Copies of this chain bind each other. A is one copy, B any other.
Amino acid sequence: MKMLINVPETVVADALRGMAAAHPELTVDVENRVVLRRDAPVAGKVALVSGGGSGHEPLHGGFVGPGMLDAACPGEVFTSPVPDQMVRAATGVDSGEGVLFIVKNYTGDVLNFDMAAELAEEEGVRVAKVLVDDDVAVTDSTFTAGRRGTGATLFVEKIAGAAAQAGAPLDRVEALARQVNASSRSFGVALSPCSTPAKGGPTFELPEGELELGVGIHGEPGRERRAMMTAGEIADVALDAVLEDLNPKNPVLLLVNGMGATPLLELYGFHAEVQRVLTERGVSVARALVGNYVTSLDMAGASVTLCQTDEELLRLWDEPVRTPGLRWGL
């Protein structure tokens, strides 16, 4: 498996150096592996910190900036960052208004963010935490107790980020983040496995002519394998799974997310099928986002995330944001 890298050992550090050079509006601490808003801490503002294993870019470092995260902690590929990184991020961005940790539900991340919260509080930082667990495909998988955290992370970071930017206090930002997570569900499919630099090849096998329904963002097994399906059939299965668990009465935010190697041309075509199914089910789409946002290295495939909105969530979604990976109005 060929990769555009130097050696597997320096992949994350190399990427952070490249990120620093591309984004002067960020402070990228390559040695300590923390990405921060250059203007952090922002006086009077609750700060948002997230992080997780690398390999899902632009998540999370690419979502640091005004209107979204204050800092992100990248771990090794598909490996949780360590508590030291999270404490450094928290103390680096806390203005005194407190910090919200946004944690995808994987065992390592949960343990490490828990420990970091204790350590940061010992240093005088008020910390709240929200767990993202939107993936309906499986519970209690390889890396997770309960449901996995995937695409809804983007919705949580954007909407809680907008509330924090507007001056909401920590308990309100936390409550909104919980509401967004509780209102969101995701389902993903893989057409090909992903390859990690450390392994130098695919992390799982997926025979030609089959796809994995309900795959996780590290290539974790999903619900089942089937013979290859059309984009329309995949949209039906994905939304069956999502809508079995979420019955949106209000218009939804829709994320049609590429896993990494699926061309945008295919992703837009898949989005058309997702819209068809939602129309058939009577689900109204308030806003749609199509692209590669929560990726799995070079995996081919896509995921669908819905978030039931209300007036406030929609208003916060529309607020300006300026990050490398998501930007409008600034």
Measured CB to CB, the residues of A under 8 A from B are 2-7, 10-12, 14-19, 21-22, 54-55, 57-58, 62, 77, 191-192, 208-209, 211, 228, 230-232, 234, 256, 260-273, 275, 285, 288-290, 292, 295, 297-298, 300-302, 322, 327-330
Shortest distance from the beta carbon of A288 to any chain B beta carbon, whole Å: 5
Report the Cα distance A3→B322, complex, angstroms: 33
B55, A290: Cβ atoms under 8 Å?
Answer: no
Please give, as numbers and ranges, the residues of chain B lying within 8 Å of A62 by CB-CB distance: 264
**Assuming the A-B contacts A263-B260, A329-B330, A330-B329, are A300 and B2 also in contact, with contact meaning beta carbons closer than 8 angstroms in the complex?**
yes
Report the Cα distance A261→B225, complex, angstroms: 23
Report the Cα distance A7→B233, complex, angstroms: 12
A231, B266: Cβ atoms under 8 Å?
Answer: no
Q: List 15 A-B contacts (CB under 8 A).
A: A2-B192, A2-B209, A2-B211, A4-B270, A15-B268, A17-B269, A18-B268, A21-B271, A54-B265, A57-B268, A77-B265, A260-B263, A261-B298, A264-B292, A322-B328
B268, A6: Cβ atoms under 8 Å?
Answer: no
B300, A5: Cβ atoms under 8 Å?
Answer: no
Number of copies: 2
A266, B192: Cβ atoms under 8 Å?
Answer: no
A7, B290: Cβ atoms under 8 Å?
Answer: no
B11, A269: Cβ atoms under 8 Å?
Answer: yes
Shortest distance from the beta carbon of A295 to any chain B beta carbon, whole Å: 7
Not counting A15-B265, A17-B275, a sample of 6 additional A-B residue pairs whose C-beta atoms are within 8 angstroms of each other reads A4-B302, A5-B266, A15-B272, A16-B268, A18-B256, A261-B298
B269, A18: Cβ atoms under 8 Å?
Answer: yes
Shortest distance from the beta carbon of A144 to any chain B beta carbon, whole Å: 22
